[in-house]
Every structure is written in C-alpha cells, then in structure tokens.
Amino acid sequence: MTITTNTTTQTTPLTASSQPKMIDKFGRHIDYVRLSVTDRCDFRCVYCMTEDMTFLPRKDVLTLEEIYQVGRAFTELGVSRLRLTGGEPLVRNNVIALVQALGRLPGLRELLLTTNGAQLVQMAAPLREAGVNRINISIDSLDPDRFKRITRTGRLDKVLAGIEAARGCNFDRIRLNTVIMKGYNDDEVLTLTDYAVERGLDIAFIEEMPLGQASDHLREETVCSNDWVLEQIQQRYTLQNTSDTTAGPSRYYRIPGERSRIGFISPMSHNFCGDCNRVRMTVEGRLLLCLGNEHSADLRKILRAGNEQNNRRDEMAQLEASEELPVSSELKAAIIAAMDLKPERHHFYESDYAQPVRLMNMTGG
C-alpha cells in the first residue's frame, strides 16, 4: 500500500498485484519522466537558445548506457511513461539503439519523443519500429521565411516532409507543438490549427516560458496568453471541453466530427502545478524536480560512482551489456530521496522571483 504523509516521499514495494508508486510530499504521483539525450540541436529557436550557444563538453554528457540505466530505474520505481527530448534528440548518435533498449523495458506503458521534425524523413520509421508510441513535432510557422527567422537555421520544407513521413508510420498519435509569440507568429494561430485539423493531428499551444535569457527579444513583450489563442480558434471552430490529459499539463478540446484535439499548455496564465506528475533529467544527469525551479539531484555522480571519466568508445556494447545487469540500488535510492525536493509550484509570473537561468535546451523540454 502507498503510505504518504505531508512531509515524506515514499514508494510502495512491488508485489504481484501492485506496481510501486512515487508520491511526493504534496501527494502527487510521479509517473512520467522526460529524459534529455542531448543539449545540442540543428536549430537555434529564438525562445529556446541564443545564437552563439556553447554546448556541454563530451565528458559531462551521459552515455547512452547511463541514460538507459536512469530510464530503467524509473520504470522499476513505477514510472510508466518516458519521453526522450533535448536539445534535438534525433541529432544524438545511435539514439535508435537507446529507443530500442528503453522500448523493451517491462514496466513501460508508453515511450514518447519530442522533435523538431527535421530528420523525420529518415528517422520516423525506425523510431516507430523501435517502440516510440507517440511523437510531438514542434512547428511555429507555415511561412518559410518566418520559420527561418524563428528557428534561425531551420528549413520549413524539411519539417513538413518530416511530418508527412511520421503520418505514414502509424504512431498512436502525432501532436504539433506551437509557441505563439507576439510579433513573430501571432497571426498564424488559425493557419496552424487548420493545417493540423486537415491532417487529423493534435496541436498544442505552449506559452513561452522565461527559461534563461532570450537574445532576440524581451519575453515579457512576446509572451502570448493561451486565453487569447483559444479565442482566435473559437472564431472558426466549435471546441468541446474534454477531460483528456495524455499524461501532461495540456488542457484539451475536441472539435466535433474531427480526429484532432486542440491542447493548451499555459504555465504563464494558468497554474497546473497541483497536477504535476513529472520530473526531468538533463543530459548531464541532473534530475530536475520542477521546470521553473532549480531543485535538483546529481544522478551522474551516482552513475559514475566517483569515476568521472565516461568511456564513449564502446557506447553501443555498454548499452547492450547493461540490459543484462541489475540497476544499482544507490541510483534508485537517490531518485526516491530526490522526490522530497520537488517544490510545490513554479513562480513564472512573479516578477520578483529569481527565474531559472538555464535555457530550455539544457532543461529537457
């Protein structure tokens, strides 16, 4: 049985009839983990990165085997959904081997991935075959020049081709992720919605969050409330409220007669922390307990057990071998202990509160 008090995190032991559960000190059940597989990316989106990024030195980046160990530890602790993200997860060498290994984890119900879509023409089918159930593809404009301005280096035609490739691969669902920003793309709410609806794709509008300093604009001038986005969509579509959550903070609406759902992730205008079911691991092995706070635990220290030199030479062989070995009990104990650090809420809309300095690519968005 799960026993929770107001002050301690506990997990239930695994029995034949029950999975263990991680419950934080505010009573929230953590069953969803986002694993960042790289801080690098082929795009430089204006809300996510600066133009002249410095990326992590190789030695600080977890190996595929280390990421796998963390994913496995979480599933053994009752986590049923893992999402691979970054940075751009598809620029990580041999990411398919990691997906395959994670896809074989017995406790896992869903393996998810968030991508900028630029490599999906080659990667969509291997990802599906390797066990990815659902995929999120980010797209903020359907105008090639504007797409370039927002992503700085991205090409719209490649992403559109990637979306088509993904559509042909029978994923359980495909969702487009869109950040609407005043002065960049706030006149594209309806065109992006139409694009999704015509193809039976879900679309989620995400409010821009103050993670790190944006170099091309002031976030307080560009941030666009999802209440306004919703009003724009309601001018063309009838939206029906749903209780669908897809294990996240999205509030979903359905359009009668259509497959698509319209989601709103509104950290700036609506606090959803009371329902937070997730934690994130950066690719340095820092377990972040909240997107909007710095509370974290250093899992890399435990994974490397004092030996800070990672050995990437045999990354694939190490990954294969680690599927046969038990997960370290120290790692699981550290994860359980970290749940007590999970803060009650973020403070994104409080101007006198120190916001995180890490950018989204370092956070594992």
Please give the residues from 75 up to 94 whose contact with ligand SF4 meets the rule CB under 6 A: 86-88
Which tokens in the block code for residue 269? 């205008």
Q: For residue 148, list its beta bridge partners.
A: none
| CB of 86 or CB of 249, closer to ligand SF4 | 86
208 binds, among ligand SAM, ligand SF4, none (CB under 5 to 8 A by kind): ligand SAM
What's the angle, vertex CA 86, arms to CA 82 and CA 87, rounded to 5?
Answer: 165
Taking the complex as a whole, the smallest distance from the CB of residue 145 to ligand SAM amounts, in Å, to 19
Secondary structure of 270-322 in the HEC alphabet? CCCHHHCCEEEECCCCEEECCCCCCCEEEHHHHHHCCCCCCCCCCHHHHHHHH
The identity of residue 246, as a single letter, is T
Instruction: Please state the closest distance from residue 103 (CB atom) to ligand SF4, in A.
Output: 23
Q: Which is nearer to ligand SAM, 63 or 85 (CB)?
A: 85
62 binds, among ligand SAM, ligand SF4, none (CB under 5 to 8 A by kind): none
Single out the residue of 230, 231, 179, 246 nearest to residue 206, CA to CA: 179
Picking from 171, 181, 191, the residue whose alpha carbon sits closest to that of residue 228 is 181
Dig out the tokens for 51 from the structure.
Answer: 């133009």
Of the CA atoms within 13 Å of residue 221, those in its CB half-sphere come to: 7
In angstroms, give the least distance from the CB of 49 to ligand SF4. 5
49 interface partner picked from ligand SF4, ligand SAM, none, CB below 5 to 8 A per type: ligand SF4
Cβ neighbours around 308 below 10 Å, total: 10
What is the DSSP secondary structure assignment for residue 253, as one 8-state letter? E
- Strand, helix or coil at 57? coil
How would you list the strands of the sheet with 261-265, edge to edge?
Answer: 240-241, 251-254, 261-265, 202-206, 173-179, 134-138, 110-115, 81-85, 32-36, 278-281, 286-288, 296-298
Range 86-145, binding ligand SAM (CB under 6 A): 86, 88, 114-116, 138
Task: Tell me the number of residues near ligand SAM by CB under 6 A.
Answer: 19
Q: Is 249 in the site for ligand SF4 (CB under 6 A)?
A: no
Contacting range for ligand SAM; rule: CB under 6 A; set: 81-89, 254-262, 280-288, 290-298? 81-89
CA distance 294 to 135: 27
Q: Which does 181 bind (CB under 5 to 8 A by kind): ligand SAM, ligand SF4, none?
A: none
Min CB(159)–ligand SAM separation in Å: 10
Q: Which does 44 bind (CB under 5 to 8 A by kind): ligand SAM, ligand SF4, none?
A: ligand SF4
CA 247 – CA 237 distance, rounded (Å): 25
Using CB under 6 A, which residues numbered 334 to 363 contact ligand SAM?
A: 360-361
CB of 128 to ligand SF4, least distance (A): 21
Q: Which is nearer to ligand SF4, 281 or 339 (CB)?
A: 281
Site for ligand SAM in 181-240 (CB under 6 A): 206, 208-209, 211
Give the interface with ligand SAM as residue ranges (CB under 6 A): 41, 47-48, 85-86, 88, 114-116, 138, 177, 179, 206, 208-209, 211, 360-361, 365
Give the interface with ligand SF4 as residue ranges (CB under 6 A): 41, 43-45, 48-49, 86-88, 116, 138, 360-361
